[in-house]
Amino acid sequence: MFWKNEWKPLVWITGIFIVFFYLPVGVPRFDNAVMEALHLARWYAEEHVLLCLVPAFFIAGAIAVFVSEASVMKYLGPTANKVIAYGVSSVSGSILAVCSCTVLPLFAGIYRMGAGLGPATTFLYSGPAINVLAIILTARVLGLELGIARAVGAILFSIVIGFLMHLIYRKEEIAKANAMMHLPEPEVTRPLWQNVVYFGLMVAILVFANWGKPEATTGVWYIIYSYKWIITGAASIGLAAVLVFWFTMPWWKVILASAPAAVIAVAFPQQTMIAFTVGVIGLSVITSTAGGENQEWFSQSWGFAKQILPLLLFGVLIAGLLLGRPGQEGIIPSEWVSSAVGGNSIWANLFASVAGAFMYFATLTEVPILQGLIGNGMGNGPALALLLAGPALSLPNMLVIRSVMGTGKTIVYVSLVIIMSTICGMIFGALF
């Protein structure tokens, strides 16, 4: 009886003991891989958690509180008009231009509110994949053909993958629709246009705070980059006004919460990260102690953070250990990757898709990485396959998706992305 109940803990303890007993500490490649994992995790914490994930958590929390299930079902549910549902999902995702991790809280928010599996996964893919800046950079650096192929492939992929997910799980989707068919009409507490402005301001903070520096020092993209923090600050002021006038937040609390960030931004214009962090802390304090729907907003946002952030950081550590940072070595030698993606064989395209799916690409970093791989002999087909699979997936991304929609659906979604990326890469490689 004892062994019947305790064999699982014994296996886990024994396995962990064996791993640590034979840990190759002192081997240069392993030691370097550990340092790369820590460097990547530190970089991720510095560049993505505060500017990307925290705003995304607040947006996801707001979706859970201020967007009714009936509204989500009407436009994105299993029985919604397919043209509207998939059109809205693909366009909404592409506007955000976020990485594969930042899109996760937003995906979790709309999925839990009743969005159909198809539109939700369309949104999940389109957010990081249909990135206008990344597509333009791809065309300029890697060639017009590859840029156009990436744009067309990503747009079609987002819709096709979502639709296939709906077909594969259509029985479950029908049952979900029937269960939610008789939802009562939501009580309207404020006009729709006010909610649109509220969400628009938060999206503006997310997008412009993360606006990357373009290569060219002229043009619209660079002008926006030059004024990104002014635009972000203006959106933050607008959000503060919305909280006071439309969300009944006491004006003195909002001023007390936002004044320190404003003072730091004006007095130390180069310390934008500190000002942003102080602003986030102030918003967290006033919403967590406000009561009513504002406190519920913070509670939902915190719930998403607790679920998603530990998995992401663990996944980043593992990805760094295995593959290292761009230009650096992990446990898996980069020569293996370079040698496996030459030509246009099924294996080369499949390997590029799988490698891209498990690697972590911050927004726009896939282009210089691919530039180096192409210089080392990577074929055009595998290059496109990696561009279609890489930005939309990563090991941290997969861990979180599994926690949201389960192991089975995650495996199907990842498999569809890999298979379609492989096929698309082979076609492109044969043509070019």
Give 261-294 pLDDT, tens digit per residue: 999 998 998 888 899 999 999 999 999 988 888 9
pLDDT above 60 (res 2):
no
Helices (H), 169-227: 170-179, 192-209, 220-226
- Local confidence band at 94 (pLDDT 50, 70, 90 cut-offs): low
For residues 75 and 382, which has the higher predicted lDDT (pLDDT)? 382
- Rounded to 10 deg, the angle between the 103-112 and 117-129 helix axes is 170
- Local confidence band at 259 (pLDDT 50, 70, 90 cut-offs): very high
Lowest-confidence pick of 55-64, 104-113, 185-194, 248-257: 185-194
> DSSP label at 50?
I
Least Cα distance to 175 among 116, 262, 219 occurs for 116
Query: pTM for this one?
Result: 0.77
Q: pLDDT value at position 185? A: 56
- Rounded to 10 deg, the angle between the 132-142 and 366-375 helix axes is 20
Query: Average of pLDDT values for 222-233?
Result: 91
- Local confidence band at 164 (pLDDT 50, 70, 90 cut-offs): very high
Q: pLDDT value at position 364? A: 64
Q: pLDDT value at position 243? A: 93
Q: pLDDT value at position 1? A: 55
SS3 assignment, position 146 = helix
